[in-house]
Amino acid sequence: MTQLALDAKNSDDELRRARFARVRLLNEELDKLVTDAADRTVSVNSKASFLAVSAGVLVAASTVQLWTKSPAFGVAALGLACVALACAAVAVRPGKRMGIQARRLVDRYADSTTSALQVESQIIEDKANALTQRESDLRSRAVWVWWGFAALALAAAALTVVFAVEVLGG
């Protein structure tokens, strides 16, 4: 082999090693982002669960007696608490599984002639796509929780008004 051919081969090897290192780094970072998304999903689910319990308490408080002096506020409190409860239910609804599926990986790569580096590159692309879908779903669920808390606050305010009017005799 000539020196020029050796230099070209070494250069190609260096490029492959550098790409391999980048792919590995991306893979590790995507795994960290998946863990972060899982933590945020737990947080949104916890908030939605708290919202559901709080809305249930307001539903019970709204229906504990017949409001005679300001029934519209009592009905508004009940309706808004039900809206908050519905928002919580939507936020914690079961969703489709997002991520790389085991069977698909095996079917796609087990008997493939694709190099390990190419497989890993395709897997990180799949991870990135799955993470993008998961982030979108998480944002949607968080919006439902936010609207639920807004409805809950309005329900609490309406219930406070009707209770004050009943107690103070206004």
pLDDT in tens, 2-32: 766 666 666 777 877 777 888 788 888 888 8
> Residues 6 or more apart from 144 whose CB is under 8 A from it?
48, 87, 88, 90, 91
132-146 pLDDT, tens digit per residue, is 998 999 999 999 999
Spatial distance between the Cα atoms of 71 and 75, rounded to a whole number of angstroms: 6
CA nearest 57: which of 165, 156, 154?
A: 156
Band (pLDDT 50/70/90 cuts) for residue 1 is low
Contact 59, 88 (CB under 8 A): no
For position 8, what pLDDT does the model report?
62
pLDDT above 60 for 92: yes
Mark 148-157 as b/e (b = at least 16 C-beta within 10 Å).
bbebbebbbe
User: Strand, coil or helix: what is 1?
Assistant: coil
CA nearest 150: which of 161, 142, 140?
A: 142
For position 5, what pLDDT does the model report?
61
Band (pLDDT 50/70/90 cuts) for residue 156 is very high
39-64 pLDDT, tens digit per residue, is 998 999 999 999 999 999 999 988 88
Domains held by the chain: number = 1
Full-model pTM:
0.76
| Domain containing residue 10 | 3-168
